[in-house]
């Protein structure tokens, strides 16, 4: 259903083509249904009952088969596979400083600055533009800070 006020994405070329195809399909359906209707009307009442009973038996059997064996129509190639993922292992050598204390203080001050931006409306707009430009920045800053605090506790 289209919302009020919006235009269709289909241009003029697509709309006349879809109308033409729709008209053709509708005509074929109407022709087929009229043929079937005339053929059904020519049958005797006993044969009509037999046709209706056979129709429901076939559809009922097909439905029952789909309930009992739902994968009957599929090729069987679609399988759910378990994906094994390994988590990264962080190994730190002794007396190894990945970043200097000055760099770490700049990282911490940047994270605190980003946290303070959430307090005001103008700050939220600025924070949104920063996060949009650098989507994983806040997570990375927090991860570096936790890693640094784990290696060098105060």
Q: What is the pLDDT of residue 73?
A: 59
Q: How far is Cα 133 from Cα 124, in angstroms, rounded to an integer?
A: 14
Q: What is the pLDDT of residue 91?
A: 60
What phi-psi label fits residue 153: left (phi over 0), alpha (psi between -120 and 50 degrees) or beta?
A: beta
CA-based end-to-end distance of the chain: 62
Q: What number of other Cβ atoms are within 10 A of residue 136's Cβ?
A: 9
Q: Which spans in the chain are helix H?
A: 12-41, 45-68, 101-117, 121-133, 137-151
Q: What is the pLDDT of residue 1?
A: 44
Q: What number of other Cβ atoms are within 10 A of residue 127's Cβ?
A: 19
Q: What is the pLDDT of residue 139?
A: 87
- pLDDT truncated to tens, each residue of the chain (154 aa)? 445 555 555 455 568 888 889 889 999 999 999 998 999 889 999 998 998 999 999 999 988 887 887 665 555 565 666 777 666 555 655 666 667 788 888 888 988 898 898 888 888 899 889 888 988 888 888 888 888 777 666 5
91 burial via Cβ count (<10 Å: 0-12, 13-18, 19+): exposed
Q: What is the pLDDT of residue 72?
A: 59
Token readout for 102 is: 């000055």
Token readout for 47 is: 């044969």
Q: What is the pLDDT of residue 2?
A: 46
Domain boundaries defined on the chain: 15-68, 101-151
């Amino acid at each position: 259903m289209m919302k009020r006020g919006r235009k269709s994405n289909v241009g003029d070329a697509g709309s006349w083509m879809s109308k033409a195809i729709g008209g053709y399909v509708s005509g074929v359906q109407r022709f087929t249904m009229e043929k079937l209707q005339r053929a059904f009307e020519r049958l005797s009442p006993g044969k009509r009952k037999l046709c209706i009973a056979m129709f429901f038996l076939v559809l009922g059997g097909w439905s029952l088969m789909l309930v009992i064996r739902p994968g009957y129509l599929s090729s069987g190639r679609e399988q759910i596979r378990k994906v094994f993922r390994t988590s990264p292992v962080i190994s730190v050598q002794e007396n190894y400083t990945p970043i200097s204390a000055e760099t770490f203080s700049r990282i911490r001050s940047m994270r605190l600055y980003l946290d303070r931006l959430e307090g005001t409306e103008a700050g939220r707009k600025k924070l949104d533009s920063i996060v949009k430009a650098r989507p994983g920045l806040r997570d990375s800053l927090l991860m570096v800070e936790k890693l640094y605090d784990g290696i060098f506790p105060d």
